[in-house]
Structure 1
């Protein structure tokens, strides 16, 4: 999923959503759209700006209207607002017909009952379930239930490095382990430049990084029966390792504690930061004036050796899913639109534009996705990426733990010590905000 800065109220709001849905709160009308010749579509911000997304998407929506006679009213929603907008829509019934969701939210939104289940009939209407890549389908809802959405854009994390900064610092090859990241970062830190960028106020990006680090420490944030387990030794070590990039390694600028979406990429493109951990960043680099030959990409770092399953996991299964509100008054048109957006032609065009990877098998075979940069991401998704927990409380987990990491970065930026005890205290505070089972 792409990065967001969800408000802390999200966790509380979701609890209200689940209660309302259980009481039938999601069975009312979907907004004011009762015209079978119109649809409302909330698209998540994928490009360098909302305006960029509008320029990318509008010609495709016009193409869909020409083919079907159905006009699509587009709203590109910033990630900082998207989750709470969706949660509000599930309780009020005043939502779009079709929307993008971060794939990690699928199970949480599925439990609200507001999204259309993609059963065999609905999958058949968009061309069949077998068209989609298996790893992408793994983040569409709770295992064993009909998916709450279908994959649209697939992504994975990788380590991007600034070739000029590496050359100037005398670094011969990009790092593949965390020890090598620390060593390279210290060589890069000079003359106001820094080793690696983070976005301390970007809650979901915080989650993505510490989730992977927890896997590398042999830990998880939830037990096998779905209970929150935020204070285990492995989780504490993972969160501390991430914050220590600023607190003790000192290869992250203190100002990064306040960074939100894409700010670390801007520093990277301006030769202020030598490395960044990101998902499908090439389109953003290009939009900021960075040529492809100015940056390189390697798999995200692991403790030692090569990425792989288990403790060598180096990415979450990232991506964007497309969902339909169950109470849409234009179900037929909505499914036609999903079919259009997941067609081979649109999958190739849109994923090529955004620098992501098609979620449809046949579209992945297009030569556009065989570049060395995208091969790193495809290999990661196939061999060393793991889906975030598909539990109903996942979006709350992102909010409360993402906020805990944000607070720890703020402490590090202020020069306060970040210890195992202070990390555990923040994580315990986060766990107390989760629903009791």
Structure 2
């Protein structure tokens, strides 16, 4: 049901954009007067309550400085896009909100957000304060940003030092063949009951966004372009090969637990890894915070770049991640633009960037936020990946539909694979061709 709602909401947003209609009327949901704004933050840690405990002291600090009160709501990551799209169509949303940076161009097309033109950017210190890589994921190419970078992230490989040592694996894998080989050594029956209880890899097989992220990384490594302009190329050979590789970890390679086909939440995947039920996970740099909340110390795991293809296919690019992160935006129907802008300025200030990114284990999105905490091995890998092995997801209106259509199809593939019926490349191509047609038809 959730996937159907999400697809319908995206179609509604596309219709609004195509008709040149912006959300109007109703104002923000804030109801406590001109000195109050509402803020939707996305779930970044192990629980909504944990995020509230992190954010509320900073919000209180802002209120003390400015007199502007902030009503905080932390939105589960899996629900965030649906909530945002509902707000854009109804005209009733928060004053300030977080978005996944890959959705920037798609959400910009709704016309529901305040654009950050040159004059508006000057109110937060100007564009030059922000990392150039992070600014590439703030809206459609050639247009003023619809959001600003808040937390910067990248995918990397987490591995259990204890399980690697027990399996006789001396170093993290650099290529996918080494990755599968390590995964097989880690997959075992540890208690002698005849059932596998330790797996090489933990996955989020039921998360559309996670699946689509891996499709983009692996597909690009295989030579996929994903879009030709605005035309979807989901059924091209590179994308099919990337999706097939992802499915093989649970299917043909046998290194991921079939029950992971039902895992939609990052927290469940990281909890399993922290408990020693999986030897590796592919996750973003902010994962360290969640692991610490599950009592896994930083010394208990290692972090390495996402592996590369053993023999890069023709046209393949050696990327380990897209430019990941969370952005902050202002809803155009805010009843307090000044207060909302001041809050964004506060969140993107050097001091708050240090505090928040330090807690969340992400990289600051501004150049003037400095702290030794950003020199950890995990963040060093993320920084190098962003500098040398990353590219932004396409900043076009249809990007969010890529995540929804391709990711949802991959979730279905994973469910089949979990039953022992891994789809072949022909079936993958057919489903991707259908996704192309759905996107082009606006459904």
TM-score, structure 1 normalization = 0.95
Query: Aligned partners of 2:125, 2:105: CA distance in 1, in Å?
Result: 23
Which of 205, 216, 227 in structure 2 is aligned with 1:222?
A: 227
Query: Aligned partners of 1:154, 1:436: CA distance in 2, in Å?
Result: 33
1:235 matched to 2:239? The reply is yes
SS of alignment partner, residue 313 of structure 1: coil
Query: Aligned partners of 1:257, 1:284: CA distance in 2, in Å?
Result: 21
Query: Aligned partners of 1:19, 1:300: CA distance in 2, in Å?
Result: 37
Are the counterparts in 1 of residues 29 and 94 from structure 2 also a CA contact under 8 Å? no
User: 1:49 Cα deviation (Å)?
Assistant: 0.4
State the Cα RMSD in Å: 1.7
Query: Aligned partners of 1:74, 1:235: CA distance in 2, in Å?
Result: 39
CA gap 1:283/1:167 in 2 versus in 1, 3 angstroms: same
Are the counterparts in 2 of residues 150 and 322 from structure 1 also a CA contact under 8 Å? yes
Query: Aligned partners of 1:32, 1:8: CA distance in 2, in Å?
Result: 26
Are the counterparts in 1 of residues 62 and 68 from structure 2 also a CA contact under 8 Å? yes
Are the counterparts in 2 of residues 197 and 252 from structure 1 also a CA contact under 8 Å? yes
Are the counterparts in 2 of residues 157 and 377 from structure 1 also a CA contact under 8 Å? yes
1:27 matched to 2:24? The reply is yes
User: 1:399 Cα deviation (Å)?
Assistant: 0.8
Query: Aligned partners of 1:29, 1:122: CA distance in 2, in Å?
Result: 24
Which of 380, 384, 392 in structure 2 is aligned with 1:387?
A: 392
Matches within 5 A, 1:88-99: 88-99=86-97
1:17 matched to 2:13? The reply is yes
Are the counterparts in 1 of residues 262 and 415 from structure 2 also a CA contact under 8 Å? yes
Q: Which runs of 5+ in 1 are unaligned?
A: none
Give the aligned partner of residue 139 of structure 2. 141
Give the aligned partner of residue 409 of structure 1. 414
Give the aligned partner of residue 163 of structure 1. 161
User: 1:386 Cα deviation (Å)?
Assistant: 1.1
User: Which string of whole-angstrom CA distances, capped at 9 and with x for unpartnered residues, describes residues 58-77 of structure 1?
Assistant: 00000000000000000001
User: 1:305 Cα deviation (Å)?
Assistant: 8.9
Are the counterparts in 2 of residues 10 and 83 from structure 1 also a CA contact under 8 Å? yes
Query: Aligned partners of 2:53, 2:149: CA distance in 1, in Å?
Result: 22
1:246 matched to 2:225? The reply is no
User: 1:343 Cα deviation (Å)?
Assistant: 0.4
User: 1:282 Cα deviation (Å)?
Assistant: 0.5
1:426 matched to 2:431? The reply is yes
Are the counterparts in 2 of residues 10 and 396 from structure 1 also a CA contact under 8 Å? no
Runs of 4 or more, structure 1, over 4 Å off, are: none
Query: Aligned partners of 2:316, 2:367: CA distance in 1, in Å?
Result: 25
CA gap 1:44/1:417 in 2 versus in 1, 3 angstroms: closer
SS of alignment partner, residue 172 of structure 2: coil
CA gap 1:25/1:143 in 2 versus in 1, 3 angstroms: closer
TM-score, structure 2 normalization = 0.94
1:8 matched to 2:9? The reply is no
1:293 matched to 2:334? The reply is no
User: 1:304 Cα deviation (Å)?
Assistant: 3.8
Give the aligned partner of residue 278 of structure 1. 283
Give the aligned partner of residue 193 of structure 2. none
Are the counterparts in 1 of residues 206 and 262 from structure 2 also a CA contact under 8 Å? yes
Query: Aligned partners of 1:20, 1:430: CA distance in 2, in Å?
Result: 21
Give the aligned partner of residue 100 of structure 1. 98
Are the counterparts in 2 of residues 176 and 299 from structure 1 also a CA contact under 8 Å? yes
Which of 188, 201, 204 in structure 2 is aligned with 1:199?
A: 204
User: Which string of whole-angstrom CA distances, capped at 9 and with x for unpartnered residues, describes residues 70-114 of structure 1?
Assistant: 000000011121111111111111100000000000000000000
User: 1:233 Cα deviation (Å)?
Assistant: 0.9
Are the counterparts in 1 of residues 204 and 264 from structure 2 also a CA contact under 8 Å? yes
User: 1:23 Cα deviation (Å)?
Assistant: 5.8
Matches within 5 A, 1:45-64: 45-64=43-62
Give the aligned partner of residue 112 of structure 1. 110
Are the counterparts in 1 of residues 222 and 316 from structure 2 also a CA contact under 8 Å? no
User: Which string of whole-angstrom CA distances, capped at 9 and with x for unpartnered residues, describes residues 284-312 of structure 1?
Assistant: 10001101110000101111499xx9621
CA gap 1:84/1:247 in 2 versus in 1, 3 angstroms: same
Query: Aligned partners of 1:114, 1:347: CA distance in 2, in Å?
Result: 26
SS of alignment partner, residue 226 of structure 2: coil
Are the counterparts in 1 of residues 28 and 335 from structure 2 also a CA contact under 8 Å? no
CA gap 1:116/1:403 in 2 versus in 1, 3 angstroms: same
Q: Which runs of 5+ in 2 are unaligned?
A: 190-196
Are the counterparts in 1 of residues 109 and 397 from structure 2 also a CA contact under 8 Å? yes
Query: Aligned partners of 2:232, 2:438: CA distance in 1, in Å?
Result: 10
1:435 matched to 2:431? The reply is no
